[in-house]
Amino acid sequence: MAKHELAKRASKWMEGTGPQSDIVLTSRIRLARNLKSIPFPHLLNDEGQKEVIDKVVQAVNTTTVTGTFGKMDMLLLEYLSPLEKQILVEKHLISPAFAEKKKGGVALNADETVSIMVNEEDHLRVQLLMPAFQLEETWKAADILDDALEQTVDYAFHEERGYLTACPTNLGTGLRASVMVHLPALVLTKQAKKILGSLPQLGLAVRGFYGEGSEAQGNLYQISNQITLGLTEEEIINNITLVVQQLIDQERSARNRLKEELYHQIDDKVNRAYGILANARIISSEEALKLLSDLRLGIDLGMIKDVDPQILNEMISFIQPGLLQGSQGKTMNAGERDLTRAKVIRTKLAQQRR
């Protein structure tokens, strides 16, 4: 994959199709792995980091990997511009912390369902990212990839502690499973704070759009496990699946309540959002996300017709500063981005009305 394609192509998760896709945008599995007898990344010199990258390149190019997941391209951070790194963050292919590093690499397959960060906090951060509520299927794919990689590289593993990781919180399975959910009705009915606030008691973390350290925008939340040690991978997946299914049921109930009890107020709210998005000449990413969330709610409640419900999935990333500049092929200041963002959204909605 050429670097210039990063901003041009949509990731598979942006398709927005699959089980419960009106509420769950993505399912993600991330595995923390380290190579046996090699120090953790923060202890490696340049030569040691290159050795790890070379081993991973060899592993991802085996037919065992490519036969299932396709060709993998390794992008080295030292050859990426700050804008290109930002685009990778906005597409959820690397972490914001990794984007700050000067050394390391990320291996990507063609549809960007697979991304492997190399020399982030651990030697490998293997990620599978799929659309909608497909956590079990995503885990199965990640497990297959993990086994395929292990045929070439030796992982650091302890019989009692499990996979050895740079941070003790990832010991054991090294597994972080997460789903991104859209919960506008729970927010509007003022139930979200209480419900989401109870999840840490169940061993789950609630984070914003870009994961750890980020704020929730556009009524989008990431729900993930906090515990990796003492549970099997299947138990972790089952726990999250049960809790997220309850969240889905509560969001659906709240949506039905809004439609039955506050129909005219919600109808006005979502059509105002549509009107602003379809006509605004200047718009910030924060305002756009809020209005796109309202628009998607209106589509899901049947109040807005002739607009593809997947518009939220695609636009939440492509209106972000990095992707916006990358897709236009030029750098822009904040004012220019706000002008361009509004034009991109207007054009997208106009195309859907034809």
pLDDT at 347 over 70: yes
98-114: pLDDT as tens digits: 999 999 999 999 999 99
CA distance linking residue 82 with residue 80, whole number of Å: 7
Mean pLDDT over 170-193 rounds to 96
Mean pLDDT over 285-301 rounds to 96
Question: H-helix or E-strand containing 259?
Answer: helix 233-261
Predicted confidence band of residue 168 (pLDDT cuts 50, 70, 90): very high
6-28: pLDDT as tens digits: 887 889 998 889 999 999 999 99
pLDDT at 288 over 80: yes
CA distance linking residue 54 with residue 28, whole number of Å: 26
Phi, psi angle pair for 74, to nearest 5°: -100, 120
The three-state secondary structure class of 6 is coil
Q: Are 107 and 60 in contact (CB under 8 A)?
A: yes
Q: What is the pLDDT of residue 10?
A: 85
Q: Are 262 and 284 in contact (CB under 8 A)?
A: no
Domain residues of the chain, as ranges?
A: 3-180, 262-353
Predicted confidence band of residue 314 (pLDDT cuts 50, 70, 90): confident
pLDDT at 215 over 80: no
Q: Are 67 and 54 in contact (CB under 8 A)?
A: no
Q: Superfamily for 3-180?
A: Glutamine synthetase/guanido kinase, catalytic domain (3.30.590.10)
pTM: 0.93
Q: Are 277 and 353 in contact (CB under 8 A)?
A: no
Q: What is the pLDDT of residue 211?
A: 59
CA distance linking residue 260 with residue 218, whole number of Å: 23
